[in-house]
Amino acid sequence: MIANVNLILFIAEAIGYFTLMVTLLHFRARIGIGIFLTALGVMHFMETYLAAVFYVELPFGIVSPGSSVFFTGKLMMILMLYLQEDAAVVRQPIYGLFIGNLLTVAIAWIVQWHAPLQLTPDTVPSDAFLKEMGWLMLWGTAILYLDAIGIILLYERLGGYLRQRPVLRFMICGFVMLTFDQIAFFGALHYSVGVPVAAFWGGWKAKMLAVCIYTVLFAIYEKWIGHAVTTSSVRPIGDIFSDLTFRERYNDLLSRTGRDVLTGLYDRTRMELEAPVMIRESLRQGQSATVMILDADHFKNVNDVFGHLQGDDVLRAIAARLGTILRAGDRVFRFGGEEFVAICPLTDQAEGLRLAERLRWTIENSVSTPDGKPVTISIGVATATEDGDVFTAILSSADERLYQAKKNGRNCVFGRSGVHEFTVAG
């Protein structure tokens, strides 16, 4: 009578485990695959513990539910994850379980060096459990690693013979790998905790029964559930993690909108939105605002001689240097090609010219072509309100002065009064 009740409970545990885990796997697109992976790994210690000390009687022998139901289920879930995803995903729990379990054993070993306190008269601290479970965990981890890789490789190998029979392949893989597991793990149980040999055959039969149950459930899932649409346009579960994730992704998207892919600077579209606002705000405060256009000299030669990839590296280096010299309130944009625009609010013409010369000097002395020759830039500078009180007018004046700087021999700063030269401290 007791054996029959235990059998009913055994089947119920297998069905319950499979239902829960497959539900997490099925809805991974909504809730995230991390929930499935965590649930898969969190029970390993309990499985090992039950396999060592907890046995029940079934009609066909002595069985540990930890080993026969839950460990068998874990291995079949790893195979299902491989079938639903790919090798890149399934290696995560395989390596995670392997490393995590080794870490558990290492921590248990270190803990044994402590001198524990006896908190109550009835509680006597002992590390015997840790010592006993440590070796089982270590051995079980090694076997699990082999089981997980082996069941996937075997499934693929059987594909050459049973390509159109995934359910049969699923069952055969379970039979083979769980037989291997029973032989390997039972040896450790028999040696370390004295589990009787009679439990070997009962455990093996129970694992084969569990494989049959999981195979039937797998077949049902594949036929009626597995191909159902699991994605949804509805937001995921409305918990704090969903809200935080949504906010982080929104802020990240917002920060990257209007960014130039090559240099990471803001692009021309962002400039056309922000620059007029910066100019107006400076004028509202009764201050000037300076606009610079910077152009890399003879940049076409860099692309022609060294190739566009090397040219891209030069542009990135220029952008990086501009960011180190310009002030916190300034903003630099990639205008197009090798041209950049800097907006410097609260800055008059004289201060803008000094800043432009520092930029020119810095680029010449810190950026070079692949053959070591310095890269130079020409800069046109215009200021509100002397050159206009709207951004487009100021930009047009700066553009004209950039043209004059190039006519003047390049590698110079050109302002309202012509070429300006300053001594810049290194």
pLDDT in tens, the chain (426 residues): 899 999 999 999 999 999 999 999 988 888 888 899 899 888 777 777 787 778 899 999 999 888 899 999 999 999 999 888 878 788 888 888 888 878 877 887 787 788 778 778 777 776 666 666 666 777 777 888 899 999 999 998 898 889 889 999 999 999 999 999 989 888 777 776 677 877 889 999 999 999 999 999 999 998 888 655 444 434 444 455 555 555 556 666 666 678 898 998 999 989 999 999 999 999 999 999 999 999 999 999 999 999 999 999 999 999 999 988 898 889 999 998 999 999 999 999 999 999 999 999 999 999 999 999 999 999 999 999 899 999 999 999 999 999 999 999 999 999 988 886 654 444
Question: Considering the entire predicted model, what is its pTM?
Answer: 0.56
User: How many separate domains does the chain show?
Assistant: 2
- Please give the pLDDT value at position 148: 92
pLDDT of residue 372: 92
Both 268 and 221 in one domain: the answer is no
CATH code, domain with 51: 1.10.1760
Structure tokens at 274: 């922000």
Shared domain check, 201 and 260: no
CATH of the domain at 345: 3.30.70.270
pLDDT of residue 286: 92
Q: Domain of residue 280: give its range.
A: 256-420
pLDDT of residue 238: 46
Distance CA 378, CA 373 (A): 16
Does any domain span residue 205? yes
Torsion of CA 237, 243, 247, 253, to 10 degrees: 0
Which pLDDT belongs to residue 267? 92
**What's residue 258's pLDDT?**
84
Query: How confident is the model at residue 48, as a pLDDT?
Result: 74
**Which residues lie below 8 Å from residue 234, measured CB to CB, with a gap of 6+?**
none
297 and 168 housed in the same domain? no
Decide: residue 209, CB within 10 A, 0-12 exposed, 13-18 middle, 19+ buried. Answer: buried
Q: Closest Cα to residue 10, out of 43, 55, 49, 75?
A: 55
Identify whether 29 is part of a domain.
yes
Contacts of 199 (CB under 8 A, 6+ apart): 55, 61, 62, 63, 64, 186, 189
